[in-house]
Structures are given as structure tokens and as C-alpha cells.
Amino acid sequence: MKPKFADILIENGTILTLDGHQTTVANGGMAIIRDRIAAIGPTAEFSNWQAARVIDAGGGIIMPGLINTHTHAAMTCFRGLADDLQLMTWLNDHIFPAESKLDEQKVYCGALLACAEMIMSGTTCFCDMYLFEDAVARAASDAGIRAVVGEVLYDFDSPNYGPIAQGFEYTRKLIDTWQDHPRVSIAVEPHSTYLCAPELLQKAFDLAKEFSLPLVIHLAESKSEVAQIKERFERTPVEHLAELGLLAPNVVACHCVELTENDISLLKRNEVKVAHNAESNMKLASGVAPIPALLNEGICVGLGTDGCASNNNLDLFLEMDTVAKLHKAKTLDPTVMDAQTVLELATIRGAQVLGLASLIGSLEIGKKADVIIIDTAQPHLTPMYNPVSHMVYAARGSDVTTVIIDGTIVMQDRELKTMNLSNVIDDVNKIARDIIAEK
């Protein structure tokens, strides 16, 4: 039989494809050619394949990389800086003042640390909202991770671009600079209804529509936000966007904790996507988003970690475990948010939220090769009756041994291939020392 050739061949693992049919391949293998998945099947079917790199999964799990639909990567610099505070106190008295002293190099260093943390815990794609986002894009590019990034837009002057008119100029420059990158893409990202005037929101929506980009916004995150918008506009934040004509399938609404039945109906009718950030919402005591109700209505939901100042980690395995258990406790129903559903939220549904489902989120022939391998020869993963259940309830980010993004090995045997981790950690520790000295 004529041999077939691949750049990377993965063998000897249980493949969780997340392909919509819950397809699992025991003792499976996968061939990768350039940046795409070329073949999937039982390992025995790859006997006539040859490859430049052969990876033995060691009987572990082979699955799609996880997708973080909402974070603020460079906030790794503020991890643990201001814990155990109310959301608005946390933002106004601690985070915004600290952010006012950021610059492009600090954001680059913090984002690079975030990329390292995400890769090492199995995340292969993230959606970021922050300041100096060109630096975040460069960090993602250098780290080899996939990213959707957008500069945060709000009514007051930014430490990066100054007045909001220049914020839109900066966003247009991001779009132009990164339009042809294979892994980095741009979103338009007004902060929220409470920090953005209607005119700003409309302009942001028009810009996203002009370039067919996602529009990412914090929405209905807390009771105080809802009360503030009701006082100003006599409607909820969701109703406010609807009144402005700014709800659409490209909108990614982050948090969505405080929703009315009418809000949910509006989100469904306009095919708005939702990024669920359970651990951050818990830590800031914002509440519990009605995710089971959203899913029952057919609303597309993905998982996010939010930033390290309000989580305090970027490990989506931990987030999955929390999400599954939180909603069982909230609803007093052990059947809600079952493991299969939660794993989909972290993979294929997350890809749908970001408009990337044709490329990533599942292991299918022709899709981008964003793949992770989990070492299951661990006490906490033994025995394994149900691999999907174990990925949600028992696995940890530290169990990820190999990460492939866009067909490139970025971590193997827990060793990062795209950066010097010690140097990255040293750089952020220096930033932390400067922050302490300035307080």
C-alpha cells in the first residue's frame, strides 16, 4: 500500500471529537498536514502513514483545545491585587487606578504570561478585551496561541488612546494590522452600557458591521449595573441595546447574570451569543447567570474565565468543574449542566460564540489542528469509566501534556516551545514590584 505523509501523527489515545455526534474513537490516531486535520480514526488505520513528528498519546485523551470566550489577559499583572471587594469598589478604587499606569510593554508582559498559563492548561484560543491590545495581539502571535482581541472603548479617556475618537482610530488600525494573520483576529469591544454612551455603542456596532467582526460587551453583569441603566434609560441593559437596535448574531454578551424573561427573549430573538464567567461572578458576588434557562431557549453560550484579578486563574478545566456544580446547586437539580454539555461550552460552543466554529472547536477533517493531549495515568483520573465526565469533574489544567495550535506544537511534555517561561515570570514579578512601590 502506498504510504501517506503527514507533518504530525498522534497515536494511541482516546479521541473526543466534540463533533456534534459525540463521536469517540478508542485507541485512536490523527494525522495533521500543515495547519489542518487530515485524518482521524483507529490507530490501526495509520499503519501506512509516515510523519515528521510522531506523538504517542500514551493512552490519554486527545481532544480539541479549550476556548476562553472572555478574559482580560494582561490582568495577570493584578492577580490577587484587590480581592474580596464589591464589583464597583473593585473597579473604581483599585483596578481602574492601577490600569491608568499601564503601558504597552507591561501589557505585553502580562499578556504573554496569560498565554503561557492558558497554553499550559489546555486553552488554544481566547477572546480578550483590554488596553494596548496591539501588545496583546503581539503576545498571542509570539506565543503561538489563537486569539480574538479588541481594544476596550469607553466614555472617559483611555491610558492608551486618550479620547474615544482616537479609540475608534486605534481599533481601525488593529483591524488593518492584523487582518491577514493566521491566528489573531480583531473584535470591536465597547466596555458596557454603563460606561458607554448610546452614540458610542452605535458607532461601535456600525464599525463591527462594516468589517463583519464580533462586537464584545459586558452586559447585565450585576444588580447595580441593571439599576443604574434603569435609572438612566428606564429599561434593562439588554432592553437598552435592543432599543438602540444593537442586538445581533455577532454580539458577544459577557456575563449576563441579571436577566429578565424579556431579556432572555430578546437575546434569543436576535441570536446574541453569551460568554459565561461563573468563577468571576462568584468571587465578585455578582450572582449566578441563568445559563440552564439560556440553553433551554437555544441561546449559544461559551465559557470564559474573565481576568486574573477577579478569578484568579485562567484554567478552563477548573471553570468547567465549577460551572457544572454551581448550576446544580442553584437549581437543586443534579441533571442540569451535564458533563457533555459543559465540555461543549468549553469547545465547540465557545467556537460558535466567537464565530470560529468552521475552523476550531471540534476535531474534524479539514478543521484547524488545535489539539490537546491529557495524561490520564494519574491517581485522580483512575479509573476512567466515562472520559467526558472526567474531563469536567476530575481533570486539571496541569494534566495537559501536549498542545498543538494551527498545526504547530507549542507545548510538549509540559515544556513550552514558544517562550522562555522563567523570563516571562520574572518580567511580571518586576511589574508587580513597581505596582507595590507606587501604591
- Let me know if residue 301 belongs to a domain: yes
First to last CA, the chain: 70
- Let me know if residue 336 belongs to a domain: yes
**CA 336 – CA 359 distance, rounded (Å):** 29
Query: Over the stretch 356-382, which tens digit does the pLDDT of each residue have?
Result: 999 999 999 999 999 999 999 999 999
**CA 189 – CA 166 distance, rounded (Å):** 14
CB 184 within 8 A of CB 140: yes
Q: How high is the pLDDT of residue 98?
A: 86
Please check whether residues 330 and 346 belong to one and the same domain.
yes
Please check whether residues 268 and 398 belong to one and the same domain.
no
> Hey, CA dihedral for 301, 306, 312, 314, is it positive or negative?
positive
Please check whether residues 396 and 265 belong to one and the same domain.
no
Please check whether residues 60 and 77 belong to one and the same domain.
no
Please check whether residues 60 and 135 belong to one and the same domain.
no
- Let me know if residue 133 belongs to a domain: yes
Q: At which of 328, 353, 378 does a domain end?
A: 353
Q: How many structural domains comprise the chain?
A: 2
Please check whether residues 89 and 215 belong to one and the same domain.
yes
Structural domain range at position 176: 66-353
Please check whether residues 128 and 156 belong to one and the same domain.
yes
C-alpha cell at 46: 495509520
**CA 172 – CA 185 distance, rounded (Å):** 12
Neighbours of 104 (CB within 10 A): 15
**CA 336 – CA 341 distance, rounded (Å):** 9
Low-confidence ranges of the chain (pLDDT < 50): none
- CATH for 317: 3.20.20.140
CB 123 within 8 A of CB 147: no
Q: How high is the pLDDT of residue 86?
A: 81
Query: Hey, which residues does 67 pair with through a beta bridge?
Result: 125
Q: How high is the pLDDT of residue 112?
A: 98
- Let me know if residue 358 belongs to a domain: no
- CATH for 35: 2.30.40.10
Query: Over the stretch 399-432, which tens digit does the pLDDT of each residue have?
Result: 999 999 999 999 999 999 999 999 999 999 999 9
- Let me know if residue 119 belongs to a domain: yes
**CA 330 – CA 332 distance, rounded (Å):** 6
Q: How high is the pLDDT of residue 439?
A: 67
- Let me know if residue 343 belongs to a domain: yes
pTM: 0.98
- Let me know if residue 401 belongs to a domain: yes
Q: How high is the pLDDT of residue 343?
A: 98
Please check whether residues 45 and 93 belong to one and the same domain.
no
Please check whether residues 257 and 338 belong to one and the same domain.
yes
Please check whether residues 109 and 59 belong to one and the same domain.
no
- Let me know if residue 72 belongs to a domain: yes
Question: Could you tell me the CA-to-CA distances from 417 to 113, 140, 144, 372, 411 in Å, in that order?
Answer: 14, 14, 9, 14, 5
Q: At which of 326, 353, 380 does a domain end?
A: 353
**CA 90 – CA 88 distance, rounded (Å):** 5
Name residue, grid cell 476535531. Answer: 363
C-alpha cell at 371: 489539539
Burial of 437 (0-12, 13-18, 19+ CB in 10 A): exposed
Q: How high is the pLDDT of residue 10?
A: 98
C-alpha cell at 123: 486553552
CB 277 within 8 A of CB 329: no
Nearest to 348 by CA among 336, 339, 360: 360
Please check whether residues 53 and 82 belong to one and the same domain.
no
Burial 34-63 (b: 16+ CB within 10 A, else e): ebbbbbbeebeebeebebeeebebeebbbb
Query: Over the stretch 241-282, which tens digit does the pLDDT of each residue have?
Result: 999 999 999 999 999 999 999 999 999 999 999 999 999 999
Q: How high is the pLDDT of residue 95?
A: 83
Please check whether residues 60 and 86 belong to one and the same domain.
no
